Amino acid sequence: MPSRILIVDDERDMLALLRRIITERTLHEVLTQHDPLKSIEIMAKEPFDLVITDLKMPRMDGIALLDEVKRTQPSAAVIIMTAYATIETAVEAIRKGAFDYISKPFRKERILLTIGRALDWQDLTRENIALRQSLEQQKKLPPIIGSSLAMMSLLNSVKQVAKSIATILIHGESGTGKELVARAIHTYSDRSDKPFITVNCTAMPEQIIESELFGHVKGAFTGAWKDKRGLVDEANQGTLFLDEIGDLTMVMQARLLRLLQEGEYKPVGGLNTRHADIRFVAATNHDLSHLIAEKKFREDLFYRLDVISFQIPPLRERREDIPVLVRHFLEKYSKLNRKEIRDIQPEAMSMLMTREWPGNVRELENVIERGVILCQSERITLEDLMPETTHTRPLPYFNEAIYRLPFKEAKEAVIRAFHQQYIHAMLQQNRGNISRAAEQAGLQRQYLHRLMKDENINADSFKDGAPDHPTVT
Protein backbone atom coordinates (compact mmCIF):
# COMPACT_ATOMS: atom_id res chain seq x y z
CA MET A 1 0.00 0.00 0.00
CA PRO A 2 1.19 3.60 -0.58
CA SER A 3 3.38 5.09 2.13
CA ARG A 4 3.93 8.67 3.33
CA ILE A 5 7.41 10.08 2.72
CA LEU A 6 8.91 13.31 4.06
CA ILE A 7 11.98 14.73 2.23
CA VAL A 8 14.12 17.37 3.94
CA ASP A 9 16.85 19.20 2.02
CA ASP A 10 17.90 22.86 1.94
CA GLU A 11 18.32 22.64 -1.87
CA ARG A 12 14.88 23.22 -3.43
CA ASP A 13 15.98 21.78 -6.79
CA MET A 14 16.90 18.52 -5.04
CA LEU A 15 13.47 18.41 -3.36
CA ALA A 16 11.72 18.87 -6.72
CA LEU A 17 13.90 16.19 -8.35
CA LEU A 18 13.25 13.64 -5.62
CA ARG A 19 9.51 14.35 -5.62
CA ARG A 20 9.36 13.80 -9.38
CA ILE A 21 11.39 10.57 -9.26
CA ILE A 22 9.25 9.05 -6.50
CA THR A 23 5.80 10.13 -7.71
CA GLU A 24 6.48 9.09 -11.33
CA ARG A 25 7.44 5.55 -10.36
CA THR A 26 5.39 4.85 -7.20
CA LEU A 27 2.07 5.64 -5.54
CA HIS A 28 3.70 7.02 -2.39
CA GLU A 29 2.57 10.36 -0.97
CA VAL A 30 5.52 12.79 -0.86
CA LEU A 31 5.86 15.91 1.27
CA THR A 32 8.96 18.14 0.97
CA GLN A 33 10.47 20.74 3.32
CA HIS A 34 13.62 22.84 2.87
CA ASP A 35 13.83 23.90 6.53
CA PRO A 36 14.72 21.07 8.95
CA LEU A 37 13.24 22.95 11.93
CA LYS A 38 9.90 23.24 10.16
CA SER A 39 10.08 19.55 9.29
CA ILE A 40 10.15 18.80 13.04
CA GLU A 41 6.95 20.81 13.46
CA ILE A 42 5.35 18.83 10.62
CA MET A 43 6.34 15.49 12.18
CA ALA A 44 4.78 16.56 15.47
CA LYS A 45 1.42 16.73 13.69
CA GLU A 46 1.58 14.11 10.91
CA PRO A 47 2.84 10.52 10.77
CA PHE A 48 5.35 9.37 8.13
CA ASP A 49 6.61 5.97 7.07
CA LEU A 50 9.93 7.24 5.70
CA VAL A 51 12.05 10.39 6.17
CA ILE A 52 14.77 11.20 3.62
CA THR A 53 17.10 13.93 4.84
CA ASP A 54 20.25 15.65 3.63
CA LEU A 55 23.26 15.42 5.95
CA LYS A 56 24.62 18.98 5.63
CA MET A 57 21.95 21.65 6.16
CA PRO A 58 21.93 25.07 7.87
CA ARG A 59 20.33 25.34 11.34
CA MET A 60 20.28 21.52 11.81
CA ASP A 61 22.21 18.67 10.23
CA GLY A 62 20.83 15.29 9.18
CA ILE A 63 22.19 13.44 12.22
CA ALA A 64 20.35 15.80 14.58
CA LEU A 65 17.20 15.46 12.51
CA LEU A 66 17.59 11.67 12.67
CA ASP A 67 17.59 11.93 16.46
CA GLU A 68 14.36 13.94 16.34
CA VAL A 69 12.71 11.43 14.02
CA LYS A 70 13.59 8.58 16.37
CA ARG A 71 12.20 10.57 19.28
CA THR A 72 8.92 11.71 17.71
CA GLN A 73 8.23 8.94 15.17
CA PRO A 74 10.28 5.90 16.20
CA SER A 75 8.55 3.62 13.68
CA ALA A 76 9.62 5.75 10.68
CA ALA A 77 12.60 4.65 8.59
CA VAL A 78 15.31 7.25 7.81
CA ILE A 79 17.61 7.55 4.80
CA ILE A 80 20.54 10.01 4.95
CA MET A 81 21.74 11.78 1.77
CA THR A 82 25.16 13.35 1.59
CA ALA A 83 27.63 14.74 -0.91
CA TYR A 84 30.34 14.35 1.73
CA ALA A 85 30.07 10.62 2.26
CA THR A 86 32.65 9.12 4.51
CA ILE A 87 32.83 5.85 6.37
CA GLU A 88 32.60 7.78 9.64
CA THR A 89 29.36 9.61 8.77
CA ALA A 90 27.78 6.43 7.40
CA VAL A 91 28.66 4.47 10.52
CA GLU A 92 27.37 7.22 12.80
CA ALA A 93 24.08 7.54 10.88
CA ILE A 94 23.41 3.81 10.92
CA ARG A 95 24.51 3.52 14.57
CA LYS A 96 21.92 6.15 15.46
CA GLY A 97 19.18 4.22 13.65
CA ALA A 98 19.26 5.27 9.99
CA PHE A 99 18.23 2.53 7.58
CA ASP A 100 20.83 3.48 4.94
CA TYR A 101 22.69 6.40 3.39
CA ILE A 102 23.01 7.56 -0.23
CA SER A 103 25.88 9.50 -1.76
CA LYS A 104 25.15 12.47 -4.01
CA PRO A 105 24.95 12.53 -6.96
CA PHE A 106 22.85 9.35 -7.16
CA ARG A 107 21.18 7.38 -9.90
CA LYS A 108 17.38 7.31 -10.09
CA GLU A 109 17.34 3.52 -9.75
CA ARG A 110 19.54 3.69 -6.66
CA ILE A 111 17.21 6.01 -4.73
CA LEU A 112 14.11 4.03 -5.73
CA LEU A 113 15.74 0.75 -4.72
CA THR A 114 16.79 2.14 -1.35
CA ILE A 115 13.31 3.56 -0.70
CA GLY A 116 11.74 0.21 -1.60
CA ARG A 117 14.10 -1.68 0.71
CA ALA A 118 13.48 0.76 3.57
CA LEU A 119 9.70 0.45 3.28
CA ASP A 120 9.91 -3.35 2.97
CA TRP A 121 12.05 -3.43 6.11
CA GLN A 122 9.53 -1.25 7.89
CA ASP A 123 6.64 -3.50 6.80
CA LEU A 124 8.54 -6.52 8.09
CA THR A 125 9.22 -4.78 11.41
CA ARG A 126 5.55 -3.92 11.82
CA GLU A 127 4.49 -7.43 10.87
CA ASN A 128 6.90 -8.87 13.45
CA ILE A 129 5.49 -6.56 16.12
CA ALA A 130 1.95 -7.56 15.17
CA LEU A 131 2.95 -11.24 15.25
CA ARG A 132 4.50 -10.90 18.71
CA GLN A 133 1.38 -9.12 19.95
CA SER A 134 -0.76 -11.84 18.39
CA LEU A 135 1.29 -14.58 20.08
CA GLU A 136 1.01 -12.82 23.44
CA GLN A 137 -2.72 -12.54 22.92
CA GLN A 138 -3.00 -16.22 22.05
CA LYS A 139 -1.41 -17.15 25.39
CA LYS A 140 -4.38 -15.53 27.10
CA LEU A 141 -7.09 -16.57 24.69
CA PRO A 142 -8.59 -20.02 23.99
CA PRO A 143 -7.54 -21.27 20.52
CA ILE A 144 -10.17 -19.63 18.30
CA ILE A 145 -8.44 -20.10 14.97
CA GLY A 146 -9.21 -17.91 11.98
CA SER A 147 -8.05 -14.82 10.11
CA SER A 148 -11.24 -14.17 8.14
CA LEU A 149 -13.01 -10.85 8.52
CA ALA A 150 -15.96 -12.57 10.21
CA MET A 151 -13.80 -14.22 12.89
CA MET A 152 -11.66 -11.15 13.51
CA SER A 153 -14.83 -9.09 13.96
CA LEU A 154 -16.19 -11.73 16.34
CA LEU A 155 -13.03 -11.70 18.46
CA ASN A 156 -13.05 -7.92 18.63
CA SER A 157 -16.66 -8.01 19.82
CA VAL A 158 -15.79 -10.65 22.43
CA LYS A 159 -13.06 -8.46 23.88
CA GLN A 160 -15.36 -5.44 23.84
CA VAL A 161 -18.20 -7.02 25.86
CA ALA A 162 -16.28 -9.52 28.01
CA LYS A 163 -15.75 -7.18 30.96
CA SER A 164 -19.43 -6.37 31.25
CA ILE A 165 -21.77 -8.50 33.38
CA ALA A 166 -24.38 -8.80 30.61
CA THR A 167 -25.80 -12.21 29.72
CA ILE A 168 -24.62 -13.37 26.28
CA LEU A 169 -26.36 -15.72 23.84
CA ILE A 170 -24.20 -17.43 21.21
CA HIS A 171 -25.87 -18.74 18.04
CA GLY A 172 -24.21 -21.19 15.71
CA GLU A 173 -24.45 -24.57 14.04
CA SER A 174 -23.11 -27.64 15.79
CA GLY A 175 -19.33 -27.80 15.64
CA THR A 176 -18.68 -24.09 14.98
CA GLY A 177 -16.93 -23.53 18.32
CA LYS A 178 -19.56 -21.97 20.56
CA GLU A 179 -17.86 -23.20 23.74
CA LEU A 180 -14.52 -21.73 22.64
CA VAL A 181 -16.19 -18.34 22.24
CA ALA A 182 -17.77 -18.72 25.68
CA ARG A 183 -14.37 -19.53 27.19
CA ALA A 184 -12.87 -16.51 25.43
CA ILE A 185 -15.53 -14.29 26.99
CA HIS A 186 -14.64 -15.71 30.41
CA THR A 187 -10.90 -15.34 29.77
CA TYR A 188 -11.22 -11.65 28.88
CA SER A 189 -13.61 -10.91 31.75
CA ASP A 190 -12.78 -9.71 35.26
CA ARG A 191 -13.79 -13.22 36.43
CA SER A 192 -11.02 -14.99 34.51
CA ASP A 193 -9.45 -16.28 37.75
CA LYS A 194 -12.80 -17.73 38.88
CA PRO A 195 -14.48 -20.98 37.74
CA PHE A 196 -15.81 -21.55 34.22
CA ILE A 197 -18.51 -24.20 34.51
CA THR A 198 -20.17 -25.86 31.51
CA VAL A 199 -23.68 -27.32 31.60
CA ASN A 200 -24.56 -29.50 28.62
CA CYS A 201 -28.32 -29.11 28.48
CA THR A 202 -28.66 -31.88 25.90
CA ALA A 203 -26.54 -34.57 27.54
CA MET A 204 -28.18 -34.44 31.00
CA PRO A 205 -31.29 -36.59 31.49
CA GLU A 206 -34.33 -34.50 32.43
CA GLN A 207 -34.83 -36.27 35.75
CA ILE A 208 -31.39 -35.31 37.08
CA ILE A 209 -30.60 -31.97 35.46
CA GLU A 210 -32.26 -29.96 38.24
CA SER A 211 -30.18 -31.74 40.86
CA GLU A 212 -27.01 -31.27 38.79
CA LEU A 213 -27.70 -27.57 38.36
CA PHE A 214 -29.00 -26.60 41.79
CA GLY A 215 -27.76 -29.45 43.98
CA HIS A 216 -29.93 -31.31 46.48
CA VAL A 217 -30.25 -31.90 50.19
CA LYS A 218 -30.00 -35.23 51.94
CA GLY A 219 -33.22 -37.26 51.58
CA ALA A 220 -34.62 -35.16 48.73
CA PHE A 221 -35.21 -38.33 46.70
CA THR A 222 -34.21 -41.97 46.67
CA GLY A 223 -30.45 -42.18 46.54
CA ALA A 224 -29.88 -38.68 47.93
CA TRP A 225 -27.95 -39.97 50.93
CA LYS A 226 -26.05 -36.72 51.50
CA ASP A 227 -26.14 -33.04 50.54
CA LYS A 228 -24.71 -32.26 47.12
CA ARG A 229 -23.48 -28.97 45.68
CA GLY A 230 -24.83 -28.10 42.24
CA LEU A 231 -23.04 -26.59 39.25
CA VAL A 232 -24.59 -23.21 40.02
CA ASP A 233 -22.86 -23.24 43.39
CA GLU A 234 -19.60 -24.32 41.73
CA ALA A 235 -19.83 -21.38 39.31
CA ASN A 236 -20.40 -18.77 42.02
CA GLN A 237 -18.41 -15.57 41.21
CA GLY A 238 -17.43 -17.13 37.89
CA THR A 239 -19.10 -17.95 34.57
CA LEU A 240 -21.83 -20.53 33.93
CA PHE A 241 -22.00 -21.68 30.32
CA LEU A 242 -25.37 -23.19 29.34
CA ASP A 243 -24.62 -25.14 26.18
CA GLU A 244 -27.54 -25.98 23.84
CA ILE A 245 -30.02 -24.21 26.06
CA GLY A 246 -32.74 -24.71 23.45
CA ASP A 247 -32.97 -28.35 24.55
CA LEU A 248 -34.05 -27.53 28.13
CA THR A 249 -37.56 -28.58 29.15
CA MET A 250 -40.17 -25.89 29.85
CA VAL A 251 -40.07 -26.77 33.58
CA MET A 252 -36.32 -26.24 33.79
CA GLN A 253 -36.61 -23.06 31.73
CA ALA A 254 -38.93 -21.59 34.37
CA ARG A 255 -36.52 -22.42 37.19
CA LEU A 256 -33.58 -21.10 35.26
CA LEU A 257 -35.44 -17.85 34.60
CA ARG A 258 -35.65 -17.10 38.32
CA LEU A 259 -31.92 -17.69 38.67
CA LEU A 260 -31.17 -15.27 35.83
CA GLN A 261 -33.61 -12.62 37.01
CA GLU A 262 -33.04 -12.69 40.76
CA GLY A 263 -29.82 -14.62 41.22
CA GLU A 264 -31.78 -16.99 43.48
CA TYR A 265 -32.28 -20.75 43.53
CA LYS A 266 -33.19 -23.60 45.84
CA PRO A 267 -31.50 -27.00 45.96
CA VAL A 268 -33.81 -29.92 45.25
CA GLY A 269 -35.64 -30.72 48.50
CA GLY A 270 -34.30 -27.58 50.18
CA LEU A 271 -36.35 -24.90 51.92
CA ASN A 272 -33.84 -22.08 52.03
CA THR A 273 -33.21 -19.78 49.09
CA ARG A 274 -29.60 -19.36 48.06
CA HIS A 275 -27.97 -16.57 46.10
CA ALA A 276 -25.37 -16.82 43.34
CA ASP A 277 -23.15 -14.20 41.71
CA ILE A 278 -22.79 -15.62 38.20
CA ARG A 279 -22.03 -14.38 34.68
CA PHE A 280 -24.28 -16.32 32.29
CA VAL A 281 -23.32 -17.30 28.77
CA ALA A 282 -25.69 -19.52 26.77
CA ALA A 283 -25.43 -21.15 23.36
CA THR A 284 -27.81 -22.82 20.94
CA ASN A 285 -27.88 -24.33 17.47
CA HIS A 286 -31.67 -23.84 17.32
CA ASP A 287 -33.65 -20.89 16.01
CA LEU A 288 -35.17 -19.91 19.34
CA SER A 289 -37.78 -17.67 17.69
CA HIS A 290 -39.20 -20.77 15.99
CA LEU A 291 -39.20 -22.66 19.28
CA ILE A 292 -41.03 -19.75 20.91
CA ALA A 293 -43.66 -19.83 18.15
CA GLU A 294 -44.05 -23.57 18.73
CA LYS A 295 -44.43 -23.01 22.50
CA LYS A 296 -41.24 -24.96 23.17
CA PHE A 297 -39.20 -22.10 24.57
CA ARG A 298 -40.18 -19.33 26.95
CA GLU A 299 -40.22 -15.91 25.38
CA ASP A 300 -39.35 -14.19 28.68
CA LEU A 301 -36.31 -16.46 29.10
CA PHE A 302 -35.20 -15.69 25.55
CA TYR A 303 -35.23 -11.94 26.16
CA ARG A 304 -33.40 -12.43 29.45
CA LEU A 305 -30.68 -14.39 27.67
CA ASP A 306 -30.47 -12.28 24.53
CA VAL A 307 -28.97 -9.14 26.06
CA ILE A 308 -25.93 -9.48 23.78
CA SER A 309 -25.83 -12.07 21.01
CA PHE A 310 -23.12 -13.45 18.76
CA GLN A 311 -23.57 -15.41 15.55
CA ILE A 312 -20.72 -17.78 14.70
CA PRO A 313 -20.57 -18.32 10.92
CA PRO A 314 -20.43 -21.91 9.65
CA LEU A 315 -17.13 -23.07 8.15
CA ARG A 316 -18.54 -23.05 4.60
CA GLU A 317 -19.00 -19.28 4.89
CA ARG A 318 -15.39 -18.62 5.96
CA ARG A 319 -13.39 -20.98 3.80
CA GLU A 320 -10.35 -18.70 3.98
CA ASP A 321 -9.92 -19.96 7.57
CA ILE A 322 -9.58 -23.60 6.47
CA PRO A 323 -5.80 -23.51 5.73
CA VAL A 324 -5.07 -21.97 9.13
CA LEU A 325 -7.30 -24.51 10.89
CA VAL A 326 -5.70 -27.36 8.97
CA ARG A 327 -2.22 -26.25 10.03
CA HIS A 328 -3.35 -25.95 13.65
CA PHE A 329 -4.91 -29.42 13.75
CA LEU A 330 -2.01 -30.91 11.80
CA GLU A 331 0.46 -29.68 14.42
CA LYS A 332 -1.80 -30.69 17.30
CA TYR A 333 -2.38 -34.29 16.21
CA SER A 334 1.12 -34.81 14.87
CA LYS A 335 2.41 -34.01 18.35
CA LEU A 336 -0.21 -36.17 20.09
CA ASN A 337 0.55 -39.12 17.81
CA ARG A 338 4.32 -38.56 17.91
CA LYS A 339 4.61 -38.10 14.17
CA GLU A 340 6.61 -35.60 12.12
CA ILE A 341 4.10 -34.57 9.48
CA ARG A 342 5.13 -31.27 7.95
CA ASP A 343 2.91 -30.74 4.94
CA ILE A 344 -0.34 -31.52 3.15
CA GLN A 345 -0.76 -32.45 -0.50
CA PRO A 346 -2.26 -29.63 -2.67
CA GLU A 347 -4.92 -32.00 -3.97
CA ALA A 348 -5.88 -32.86 -0.40
CA MET A 349 -6.11 -29.18 0.47
CA SER A 350 -8.28 -28.62 -2.60
CA MET A 351 -10.70 -31.24 -1.31
CA LEU A 352 -10.78 -29.63 2.13
CA MET A 353 -11.42 -26.20 0.62
CA THR A 354 -14.38 -27.39 -1.48
CA ARG A 355 -16.32 -29.54 1.02
CA GLU A 356 -19.50 -28.19 2.56
CA TRP A 357 -18.55 -29.23 6.13
CA PRO A 358 -21.98 -29.82 7.69
CA GLY A 359 -20.15 -30.65 10.95
CA ASN A 360 -18.13 -27.44 10.68
CA VAL A 361 -14.78 -27.09 12.49
CA ARG A 362 -15.38 -30.21 14.59
CA GLU A 363 -15.77 -32.30 11.43
CA LEU A 364 -12.64 -30.77 9.89
CA GLU A 365 -10.71 -31.55 13.07
CA ASN A 366 -11.84 -35.18 12.96
CA VAL A 367 -10.81 -35.51 9.31
CA ILE A 368 -7.33 -34.10 10.02
CA GLU A 369 -6.91 -36.35 13.07
CA ARG A 370 -7.77 -39.38 10.95
CA GLY A 371 -5.37 -38.22 8.24
CA VAL A 372 -2.53 -37.88 10.73
CA ILE A 373 -3.17 -41.36 12.10
CA LEU A 374 -3.26 -42.95 8.63
CA CYS A 375 -0.38 -40.95 7.15
CA GLN A 376 2.79 -42.98 6.58
CA SER A 377 5.05 -40.15 5.40
CA GLU A 378 5.82 -36.50 6.15
CA ARG A 379 3.01 -35.33 3.89
CA ILE A 380 -0.71 -35.98 4.22
CA THR A 381 -2.37 -37.09 0.99
CA LEU A 382 -5.95 -37.18 -0.23
CA GLU A 383 -5.99 -40.92 0.43
CA ASP A 384 -5.05 -40.32 4.08
CA LEU A 385 -7.94 -37.94 4.57
CA MET A 386 -10.64 -39.73 2.59
CA PRO A 387 -9.65 -43.35 2.03
CA GLU A 388 -13.20 -44.27 1.04
CA THR A 389 -13.20 -41.83 -1.91
CA THR A 390 -9.77 -42.29 -3.45
CA HIS A 391 -11.32 -43.06 -6.82
CA THR A 392 -12.71 -39.51 -7.14
CA ARG A 393 -10.71 -36.46 -8.09
CA PRO A 394 -12.08 -33.24 -6.58
CA LEU A 395 -12.39 -30.17 -8.75
CA PRO A 396 -10.12 -27.32 -7.70
CA TYR A 397 -11.72 -24.48 -5.77
CA PHE A 398 -15.40 -25.35 -6.19
CA ASN A 399 -17.91 -28.19 -6.12
CA GLU A 400 -20.92 -29.23 -8.12
CA ALA A 401 -23.02 -26.35 -6.75
CA ILE A 402 -21.18 -24.00 -9.12
CA TYR A 403 -22.97 -25.58 -12.10
CA ARG A 404 -26.37 -24.56 -10.76
CA LEU A 405 -25.48 -20.84 -10.83
CA PRO A 406 -26.04 -18.45 -13.76
CA PHE A 407 -22.94 -18.18 -15.94
CA LYS A 408 -21.94 -14.69 -14.76
CA GLU A 409 -22.26 -15.59 -11.08
CA ALA A 410 -20.39 -18.87 -11.59
CA LYS A 411 -17.58 -17.09 -13.43
CA GLU A 412 -17.25 -14.47 -10.67
CA ALA A 413 -17.19 -17.19 -8.01
CA VAL A 414 -14.42 -19.10 -9.81
CA ILE A 415 -12.34 -15.94 -10.35
CA ARG A 416 -12.64 -14.99 -6.70
CA ALA A 417 -11.71 -18.53 -5.64
CA PHE A 418 -8.69 -18.40 -7.96
CA HIS A 419 -7.60 -15.10 -6.38
CA GLN A 420 -7.86 -16.59 -2.91
CA GLN A 421 -6.02 -19.80 -3.79
CA TYR A 422 -3.28 -18.11 -5.83
CA ILE A 423 -2.58 -15.42 -3.23
CA HIS A 424 -2.55 -18.06 -0.46
CA ALA A 425 0.02 -20.04 -2.45
CA MET A 426 2.25 -17.02 -3.09
CA LEU A 427 2.16 -15.93 0.57
CA GLN A 428 2.79 -19.47 1.79
CA GLN A 429 5.84 -19.88 -0.42
CA ASN A 430 7.22 -16.56 0.79
CA ARG A 431 6.15 -16.98 4.45
CA GLY A 432 3.90 -13.96 4.44
CA ASN A 433 6.39 -11.50 2.88
CA ILE A 434 4.13 -9.43 0.62
CA SER A 435 6.96 -7.83 -1.36
CA ARG A 436 8.59 -11.16 -2.25
CA ALA A 437 5.20 -12.70 -3.07
CA ALA A 438 4.40 -9.80 -5.43
CA GLU A 439 7.81 -10.16 -7.11
CA GLN A 440 7.34 -13.90 -7.62
CA ALA A 441 3.84 -13.36 -9.00
CA GLY A 442 4.99 -10.58 -11.34
CA LEU A 443 2.59 -8.10 -9.72
CA GLN A 444 2.97 -4.62 -8.29
CA ARG A 445 3.09 -4.80 -4.49
CA GLN A 446 0.22 -2.29 -4.26
CA TYR A 447 -1.97 -4.42 -6.57
CA LEU A 448 -1.30 -7.59 -4.57
CA HIS A 449 -2.06 -5.72 -1.34
CA ARG A 450 -5.38 -4.54 -2.84
CA LEU A 451 -6.30 -8.10 -3.87
CA MET A 452 -5.49 -9.30 -0.34
CA LYS A 453 -7.73 -6.61 1.12
CA ASP A 454 -10.57 -7.53 -1.26
CA GLU A 455 -10.33 -11.20 -0.28
CA ASN A 456 -9.77 -10.55 3.46
CA ILE A 457 -6.42 -12.37 3.43
CA ASN A 458 -4.08 -11.65 6.34
CA ALA A 459 -0.36 -12.09 5.63
CA ASP A 460 0.32 -12.76 9.34
CA SER A 461 -1.33 -16.19 8.94
CA PHE A 462 1.63 -17.33 6.81
CA LYS A 463 4.53 -16.25 9.02
CA ASP A 464 5.24 -19.75 10.28
CA GLY A 465 4.28 -21.52 7.08
CA ALA A 466 0.68 -22.07 6.04
CA PRO A 467 -0.14 -25.17 3.95
CA ASP A 468 0.19 -25.28 0.20
CA HIS A 469 -2.75 -24.54 -2.02
CA PRO A 470 -3.64 -25.92 -5.44
CA THR A 471 -2.89 -23.87 -8.50
CA VAL A 472 -5.26 -23.35 -11.43
CA THR A 473 -5.22 -26.14 -13.97
Residue of 191 and 407 predicted with greater confidence: 191
How would you classify the pairing of strands 343-344 and 379-380? Answer: parallel
373 and 237 in one domain?
A: no
In a domain, 359, yes or no: yes
Residue 300 gets which letter from DSSP?
H
The rounded distance, in Å, linking the Cα atoms of 373 and 231 is 37
Task: Check if the beta carbon of residue 173 is closer than 8 Å to that of residue 287.
Answer: no
Average pLDDT over all residues of the chain: 84
Task: Report the SS3 class of residue 413.
Answer: helix
Give the structural domain span for 237.
149-313
Give the domain CATH number at 106: 3.40.50.2300
436 and 417 in one domain?
A: yes
Residue of 317 and 136 predicted with greater confidence: 317
Identity (one letter) of the amino acid at 59? R
In a domain, 441, yes or no: yes
In a domain, 138, yes or no: no
In a domain, 467, yes or no: no
Give the domain CATH number at 230: 3.40.50.300
Which residue, of 131, 163, 186, is where some domain finishes?
Answer: 131
303 and 373 in one domain?
A: no
Task: Please list, in sequence order, all residues whose beta carbon lies within 8 angstroms of the beta carbon of residue 112, skipping any fewer than 6 positions away.
Answer: 21, 22, 25, 26
Which residue, of 290, 313, 336, is where some domain finishes?
Answer: 313
**Statement: residue 70 has pLDDT above 90:** no
Task: Report the SS3 class of residue 257.
Answer: helix
In a domain, 470, yes or no: no
Handedness of CA 39, 44, 46, 50 (dihedral sign): positive
264 and 154 in one domain?
A: yes
The rounded distance, in Å, linking the Cα atoms of 354 and 393 is 12
Residue of 6 and 127 predicted with greater confidence: 6
Residue of 462 and 87 predicted with greater confidence: 462
123 and 38 in one domain?
A: yes
Specify the number of domains making up the chain.
3
User: For 114-132, how does the pLDDT look when each residue is reduced to its tens digit (9 = 90+)?
Assistant: 999 888 887 877 777 666 6
In a domain, 142, yes or no: no
241 and 387 in one domain?
A: no
User: For 252-305, how does the pLDDT look when each residue is reduced to its tens digit (9 = 90+)?
Assistant: 899 899 899 888 888 888 888 899 899 999 999 999 999 999 999 999 999 999
**Statement: residue 140 has pLDDT above 60:** no
397 and 362 in one domain?
A: yes
Task: Report the SS3 class of residue 305.
Answer: helix
Residues facing 82 on adjacent strands:
103
CA distances from 236 to 87, 147, 181, 214, 274 (A): 69, 34, 20, 12, 11
307 and 322 in one domain?
A: no
Task: Check if the beta carbon of residue 94 is closer than 8 Å to that of residue 101.
Answer: yes
Task: Check if the beta carbon of residue 318 is closer than 8 Å to that of residue 271.
Answer: no
User: For 355-368, how does the pLDDT look when each residue is reduced to its tens digit (9 = 90+)?
Assistant: 889 999 999 999 99
pLDDT at position 241, please? 95
Task: Please list, in sequence order, all residues whose beta carbon lies within 8 angstroms of the beta carbon of residue 164, skipping any fewer than 6 positions away.
Answer: 308
Confidence band, pLDDT 50/70/90 cuts, at residue 84: low
The rounded distance, in Å, linking the Cα atoms of 168 and 306 is 6
Task: Report the SS3 class of residue 279.
Answer: strand
417 and 276 in one domain?
A: no
Weakest-pLDDT range from 29-33, 269-273, 303-307, 416-420: 416-420
108 and 163 in one domain?
A: no
**Statement: residue 426 has pLDDT above 90:** no
Helices and strands: H and E segment counts in the chain = 19, 14
Give the domain CATH number at 432: 1.10.8.60
- What's 121-139 look like in SS3? HHHHHHHHHHHHHHHHHHH
In a domain, 140, yes or no: no
304 and 367 in one domain?
A: no
Average pLDDT rounded to a whole number, residues 3-31: 91
102 and 165 in one domain?
A: no
Radius of gyration of the chain (CA): 30
Confidence band, pLDDT 50/70/90 cuts, at residue 221: confident
| pTM of the entire predicted model | 0.55
- Taking alpha carbons only, the member of 235, 263, 268 closest to residue 251 is 268
The rounded distance, in Å, linking the Cα atoms of 456 and 449 is 10
Which residue, of 265, 285, 313, is where some domain finishes?
Answer: 313
In a domain, 139, yes or no: no
